[in-house]
Amino acid sequence: MAGLRINALKSNIYMASIEESVRNDIAQITGFGVGELPFRYLGVPLAARQLKTSEYSVLVDSIAMKVSAWPRHSLSNAVDSICRKFIWPTKHPPIAWQELCKPLMDGGLGLKNLKMWNRALLAKTLRKIHSKQDSLWIRWVNHVYSCFGGVWNWHWHKEQSGLIKRIIEIRDELICKYGSKETAAAQLDSWFHNKGGVSRAYEFFAQKNGNWPWKPLLSKHYILPKHRFVLWLLAHRKLLTRDRLEHLQDSKCVLCLQEDESNLHLFFQCRITILIWDEIRRWLGMRKLMGSPSTILRAFRRTYRGSSTLARMRFTAMAATIYHVWNL
């Protein structure tokens, strides 16, 4: 009806376990060329067997090339291993990748955990199989595994697809969480009855706690991203001060040259930093002393909270001060 026609010159037909004479007859009737597996579709290798890691090398190299060309202030959830190097090009990053992938309310940066996102997509596939969605692949899967009953009764065997194994693992996790097959099926329906179901499933697998005390300070959109990032590292006490750099023989503070440089000393106990804080406090009418991360946390959650212009200036000045002291 749309006027579209299949272009035989750009199409191939793929067959398996078919006699040569039958293959030739099918090719002659359809007018398509006979293709061989594996082949690539949109850069992804497709085959009837489990693919080797080497067969994905072109796709991985393409992603790596694009990510490496991004500016430093951009963050991505493209590939976990590539993103780790993009943020911290070191074998020993100060904070584990799993921590970065946690939501801000749990102390992370809210980056996508691709393993959890993949599980959410598998949950969507489970729901499609359960609801017998009208698509060729879903009908084929339900037909092949119909001897086991519905998807809630399937049992995995070694000769079966690894994808089916992972779907069954997701199914069993939902049953364990919700207590019965019926309740688990109802939960799937509640996730995917409209748009946004994958995000809701991701939240389930990510298991949010929502009790990190620094969230109110780090959720201020008007604070520059680079200031928030340094403040986030300070909140975790993971800024690489000289006491954490084992290859340095001299761990003295680069500002006062008297005490060993640590997160606590550099930002709150160094005589130079104290003078900077005093000027900021006088300028913005802040009486509370900034003697440690915990005192900053208490002060800005109790005394200096709010959305007024003055409150915003105080939040911005606090984050900027920590950032610039770190860069002195």
Answer yes or no: is pLDDT of 320 > 60: yes
- Same-domain check for residues 220 and 313: yes
Quote the CA–CA distance of 185 and 8 in Å, as a whole number: 43
| Residue 2, pLDDT score | 55
Q: What is the mean pLDDT of the chain?
A: 84
Q: In which band, very low, low, confident or very high, does the pLDDT at 77 lie, cut at 50, 70 and 90? A: very low
Report pLDDT digits (tens) over 94-113: 888 888 888 888 898 888 88
Cβ atoms of 108 and 99 closer than 8 Å: yes
| Residue 214, pLDDT score | 92
What average pLDDT does the segment 81-92 reach? 76
Answer yes or no: is pLDDT of 72 > 60: no
Report pLDDT digits (tens) over 137-186: 888 888 888 777 888 888 887 777 788 889 999 999 999 999 999 999 99
Cβ atoms of 39 and 46 closer than 8 Å: yes
Residue 232's nearest CA partner among 248, 242, 220, 243 is: 220
| Residue 18, pLDDT score | 81
End-to-end CA distance of the chain: 68
| Residue 66, pLDDT score | 67
| Residue 266, pLDDT score | 92
Q: How many domains does the chain have?
A: 2
Answer yes or no: is pLDDT of 76 > 70: no
- Same-domain check for residues 277 and 321: yes
- Same-domain check for residues 200 and 237: no
Report pLDDT digits (tens) over 25-49: 888 888 888 887 777 776 677 776 6
Residue type, 216: P
Exposed / middle / buried, residue 43 (Cβ in 10 Å: 0-12, 13-18, 19+)? exposed
Q: Which of 6-10, 88-92, 292-296 has the highest mean pLDDT?
A: 292-296
Is residue 281 one of the residues assigned to a domain?
A: yes
Answer yes or no: is pLDDT of 73 > 50: no
Answer yes or no: is pLDDT of 242 > 90: no
What average pLDDT does the segment 228-235 reach? 92
Answer yes or no: is pLDDT of 1 > 50: no
- Same-domain check for residues 231 and 266: yes
What average pLDDT does the segment 211-226 reach? 90
Domain boundary among 174, 206, 238: 206
Report pLDDT digits (tens) over 287-316: 888 889 999 999 998 899 888 999 999 999
Cβ atoms of 123 and 206 closer than 8 Å: no
Domain boundary among 143, 176, 206: 206
Alpha helices in 101-219 (DSSP H): 114-130, 136-144, 162-178, 181-192, 197-206, 215-218
Residue 181's nearest CA partner among 204, 207, 154 is: 154
Answer yes or no: is pLDDT of 74 > 70: no
Answer yes or no: is pLDDT of 50 > 90: no
Exposed / middle / buried, residue 5 (Cβ in 10 Å: 0-12, 13-18, 19+)? exposed
Is residue 92 one of the residues assigned to a domain?
A: no
Cβ atoms of 197 and 94 closer than 8 Å: no
Quote the CA–CA distance of 205 and 119 in Å, as a whole number: 7
What average pLDDT does the segment 207-211 reach? 77
What average pLDDT does the segment 82-102 reach? 81
Quote the CA–CA distance of 311 and 119 in Å, as a whole number: 41
**Between these two residues, 17 and 317, which has the higher pLDDT value?**
317
Q: What are phi and psi of 172, to 5 degrees?
A: -65, -35
What average pLDDT does the segment 127-138 reach? 88
Q: Which residue's structure tokens are 């975790």?
A: 236
| Residue 226, pLDDT score | 92
Residue range of the domain that includes 262 = 215-327
Answer yes or no: is pLDDT of 135 > 50: yes
Q: Which residue's structure tokens are 């190097």?
A: 85
| Residue 20, pLDDT score | 85
Structure tokens at 157: 């065997």
Q: Which residue's structure tokens are 């949109």?
A: 42
- Same-domain check for residues 132 and 175: yes
Quote the CA–CA distance of 251 and 254 in Å, as a whole number: 9
| Residue 69, pLDDT score | 57
Is residue 25 one of the residues assigned to a domain?
A: no
- Same-domain check for residues 132 and 167: yes
Alpha helices in 39-161 (DSSP H): 57-68, 80-87, 97-100, 114-130, 136-144
Quote the CA–CA distance of 261 and 267 in Å, as a whole number: 9
Is residue 109 one of the residues assigned to a domain?
A: no
Domain boundary among 182, 206, 230: 206
Cβ atoms of 242 and 256 closer than 8 Å: no
Q: What is the DSSP letter of 107?
A: T
- Same-domain check for residues 224 and 315: yes
